[in-house]
């Protein structure tokens, strides 16, 4: 197969960590041609969606790729197109998904489905599964958030479009910075944010559960916060520890999986703290390399094998 990966600049990807790199390597090992481009290299011309892309030669180690000469190709040239651009889901990201929707109308297989990338906000999607979530409020009103804080006693607040723990704060009623934090996150009431009851189980890890075509990988990656930190995100200094899924993890994955598959969400990363679902990540879920290194479970190979079945 000929596969196109829409990613952030290749030079910025970490060969030892990024799941997109693991996917590309696995695809190459399985005999597929791997191409890469950035979202802003797509174009709509003569009613068709094209992109400027380069074929990659993949290898292990730090010098993990060589890029061939870039060429302008129609997306219909590819058996599958994988949208792996990191958030924020801003106007440019949304414009890219609209081009991908037009490509889908031409018959292109896009993973994840472009419309679902728009519809499944990674924070708000948890409300599709209310039986699994902790008390949660979405508001731009500092008074509403203050009342929620008073009722819960200890909360997490975060923007709706970030990643990697950016803009995540823990607040208590006596926090002297409470007003400043809420003013900053909401831009003085202009932006909606999410507030969730603080879950002490974060000390045991913020688990990332991967769903591939609706089926869970048998290991979760628990992101354990460093001392003095609330966030478990690896980008915020958390430590990743692979663990077999618990019965609760499997219950949550079993409920979300069929819904995600029906929506064309081929790869999903569920964030679970203790007993609760806290996020549904659909843009560029990661954790492949950490799970593989610690368990021997080759998540990337499993992913490409499942992709082959979908693209057959």
Catalytic residue among 213, 223, 233, 301: 223
Residue 272 near residue 252, CB atoms below 8 Å: yes
Give me the catalytic one of 112, 121, 233, 281: 281
281 is catalytic: yes
- Pinpoint the alpha helices (H) of the chain: 19-29, 91-105, 114-119, 142-152, 178-186, 247-262, 288-295, 299-311
3-state helix, strand, coil split of the chain in percent (to 5) is 35, 30, 35
For residue 112, indicate whether it is catalytic: no
Q: Which residues of 232-260 are buried (b: 16+ CB within 10 A; e: fewer)?
A: bbbebebebebbebeeebeebbeebbebb
Among the options 104, 249, 279, 301, which is catalytic? 279
Q: Which listed residue (123, 178, 197, 207) is catalytic?
A: 123
Annotated catalytic residue within 84, 109, 158, 207: 158
User: Is 158 annotated as catalytic?
Assistant: yes
Whether 231 is catalytic: yes
Instruction: Return d(Cα 280, Cα 287) in angstroms, integer.
Output: 14
Answer yes or no: 223 catalytic. yes
Query: Going by DSSP bridges, is the β-strand pair 80-83/2-6 parallel, antiparallel, or unpaired?
Result: parallel
> Which one from 18, 208, 233, 290 is the annotated catalytic residue?
208
Catalytic residue among 121, 231, 233, 301: 231
Is 44 within 8 Å of 78 (Cβ atoms)?
A: no
Return the DSSP state at 75.
G
Please list the alpha-helical segments (H only) found in 33-130: 91-105, 114-119
Cα–Cα distance, 89 to 73 (Å, whole number):
25
How far is residue 205's CA from residue 225's CA, in Å, rounded to a whole number?
7
Which residues fall within 8 angstroms of residue 59, CB to CB, at 6 or more apart? 65
User: Is 248 one of the catalytic residues?
Assistant: no
Which residues are catalytic, by number?
123, 158, 208, 223, 231, 271, 279, 281
């Amino acid at each position: 197969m000929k596969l196109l990966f829409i990613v952030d600049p290749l030079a910025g990807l970490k060969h030892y960590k990024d799941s997109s790199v693991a996917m590309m390597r696995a695809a190459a090992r399985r005999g597929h041609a791997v191409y890469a481009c950035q979202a802003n290299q797509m174009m709509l011309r003569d009613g068709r969606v094209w992109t400027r892309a380069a074929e990659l030669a993949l290898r292990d180690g730090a010098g993990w790729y060589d890029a061939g000469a870039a060429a302008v190709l129609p997306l219909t040239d590819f058996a599958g197109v994988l949208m792996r651009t990191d958030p924020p889901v801003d106007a440019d990201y949304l414009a890219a998904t609209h081009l991908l929707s037009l490509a889908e109308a031409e018959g292109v297989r896009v993973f994840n489905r472009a419309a679902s990338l728009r519809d499944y906000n990674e924070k708000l999607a948890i409300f599709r599964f209310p039986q699994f979530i902790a008390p949660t409020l979405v508001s731009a009103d500092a008074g509403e958030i203050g009342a929620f804080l008073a009722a819960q006693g200890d909360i997490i607040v975060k923007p709706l479009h970030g990643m990697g723990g950016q803009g995540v704060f823990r607040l208590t009623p006596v926090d002297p910075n409470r007003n400043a934090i809420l003013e900053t996150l909401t831009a003085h009431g202009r932006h909606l944010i999410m507030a969730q009851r603080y879950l002490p189980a974060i000390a045991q890890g913020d688990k990332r559960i991967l769903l591939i075509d609706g089926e869970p990988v048998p290991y979760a990656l628990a992101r354990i916060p460093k001392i003095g930190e609330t966030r478990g995100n690896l980008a915020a200094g958390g430590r990743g520890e692979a663990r077999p899924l618990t019965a609760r993890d499997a219950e949550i994955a079993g409920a979300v999986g069929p819904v995600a598959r029906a929506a064309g969400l081929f790869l999903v990363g569920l964030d679970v703290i203790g007993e609760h679902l806290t996020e549904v990540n659909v843009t560029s879920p990661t954790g492949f390399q950490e799970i593989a290194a610690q368990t021997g479970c080759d998540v990337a190979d499993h992913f490409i094998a499942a992709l082959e079945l979908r693209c057959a």
